[in-house]
Structure 1
Amino acid sequence: MKKILVIEDEKAVRDSILDILDAEGFYAAGAENGQVGVELASQLQPNLILCDVMMPELDGYGVLRQLRLNPQTETIPFIFLTAKVERSDIRQGMTLGADDYLPKPFTHAELLQAITTRLNKQEAIVSQSEQRLDDLRQSISFALPRALTSPLGVITHLSSDLIEEYNTATPAEILEMAEMIHSNANLLHQLMHNFLLYAKLEVIATNPDQVKALQNYRIDYSETVIADEAIQKSEEYGRREDLELSLKSVSARISENKLKKIVEELVDNAFRFSTQGSLVKVYSFESDDKFVLHVIDYGRGMTAEQISHVGAYMQFDPELFDQQGTGLGLAIAKRLTELHGGEMLIESILGKQTIVRISLPR
């Protein structure tokens, strides 16, 4: 049974709405003012809230503000009941996070229509979120063991060799094995971190309020962040001379850490799938009042099918290439870009060149 909370200070109106809801098979509860309504919303966790705007102690806008600050009530669908239908009043409510307005006086049918529409929309959102999380769980259960097999295998094999040969191996051989173990342990750590990050991003994508919070950040020194991250990656691959930078001072609506992560994954991909001596170009500039980032490499390239299926757990040509090509980094960069209201496009000529274009609001 769906639960609906009615916050209305006029007893006659409140009782009338409660009677209608009871007759229609809803579990209905009433609150005589805004403060009581906030407390009941937290206790009851209703499927929908109907709330008057003009009330003593705490008006409807104040109720909505408090509900949206509470993680337990921030996503409950909220409909204002009001005789105030000025455009500025509606804009204020929508800005705070109201889902709909129902002008007074309203008919029995209008009330039920507004409720049904909002509940159906919420059910669709929940269903979509659950399906997305189910898909994510299936992808992780399939891809995680596969992605971890390669570095774990190397660590197990080399550590066994080290145990068996520590009396006969030379210091140089021991150092070489230790460095390879360390390198694969770092790769294992990075894979685990990225799997967890992607899962977190998928959960955020199901919550409009969390997405909105992400988009509130802004960075004004993007060129410094991009340069530092790109140079660090080039040095990790021993290819500092292959890196070409052309960066403009452009602001972007994204946090420093999230921008760093996008650059890290795209530049890492560019170096990983290109050969020593070939250029990796990183450009940033402003275009059509957007922050734009290009990462270009002249390596193996991607097929049209691979580009269209860029996702968390794609394995590019597993029979031809090693387990490091999971596609997880591209998926993270794409999801981060989209969550910040941007777009990621990939153009590639197989065996010749790949261009990844990121655009973000400024």
Structure 2
Amino acid sequence: MVLNNVTIPGNDIAVSISISEGKIVQVAPAIANDREQLTFVGAIAFPGLINSHDHLDFNLFPQLGNQTYESYTEWGKHIHRAYADEIASVLKIPVALREQWGIYKNLLCGVTTVVNHGEKTIINDPLITVFENCQSIHSVLFEKNWKKRLNNPLKIGLPVVIHSGEGSNTAAHTEIDQLIKWNLFRRKLVGVHGVAMGTRQAKHFKALVWCPESNYFLFDKTAAIHELKAKTGILFGTDSTLTGHWDIWHHIRLARKTQMLTDHELYHSLTSLPAKIWQLNTGSFIAGLDADIVIAKSNGKPSLQAFYDVTPDDILLVMHKGEILLFDESLYHQLTGIITQSYNKILTGNSFKYIQGDIHGLIAEIKRYKPDAGFPVPYPIQPAA
């Protein structure tokens, strides 16, 4: 397949992307062959986004919390008192259904890889890559046996992903020092949040996953990314809807407003850098890498600006390892005879999309357990305005 006439963020010269057997073969101004082709008008292409921090089974929660907290422990205690009934109503939904919705939440936004933090997922054959080739430890204070797990000799080869410095108080900062001190085998640490992290501490981490919207919602403060980026790699994550908007683009634009990363640094925190940290065969338009590709409307803007203005409504195509998972209704005539999988028709904003799998059945099944569960795609489907 060839994807014709797209621009790539940072380069406004139109190119074509050739794909074969799930891999990128070539990126060039023009590619002549007789294979299946899709031609776009006014569109950008970028690698499928890598969401480096989510809890897939927690994405049916609304944001919970109504004050500014000093730490994740204070927040955790508060929500279990103040929102006990809401928490119980979501946890009644079987884990597999909640995980499947977490996959769709990411896919709708153009995420093709998500790093799940917590217990191993139980769903089979997720549509996108769920990265779990790491050791998930929640945190120093919430994980009873964190020292033993951190120093498990059978896990030395795996990176450790752990909430670190999630708060604004002294305890959150000191907690990071404890983690560093007890990392006896000097394992690769990937911290999450790092709101209380200092540059001295950052150098002990392979990377830090920045989740700015979650941080501002809980603490009215985020990590000093403009300082920490000199000492460790900065990846990007959303966390779950317990503390953030379902749409990753909402998070990205908030991060951009802080100006703590340049536009290019922020772009690479979602693409090439996490691919390197997690050792994924994706994240760039290079021959031989997996064809994880998103095409979106440019709306007449330069490619990098268009990238930062993307909404789920603007997404025209999401491809994972060469397989089309989502496409806009405007491409239907070009895809006739090409696609063979089963798709559901959905509405995002004012645009109809086709998405692989049975998202309608999933929503209906979830509503059996929680009739008032909310979703960003209307169900039953409503006509476009």
TM-score normalised by structure 1 residue count: 0.21
Higher helix share: 1
Larger radius of gyration: 1
The structure showing larger relative contact order (alpha-carbon pairs under 8 Å, at least 6 residues apart) is 2
TM-score normalised by structure 2 residue count: 0.20
Higher strand share: 2
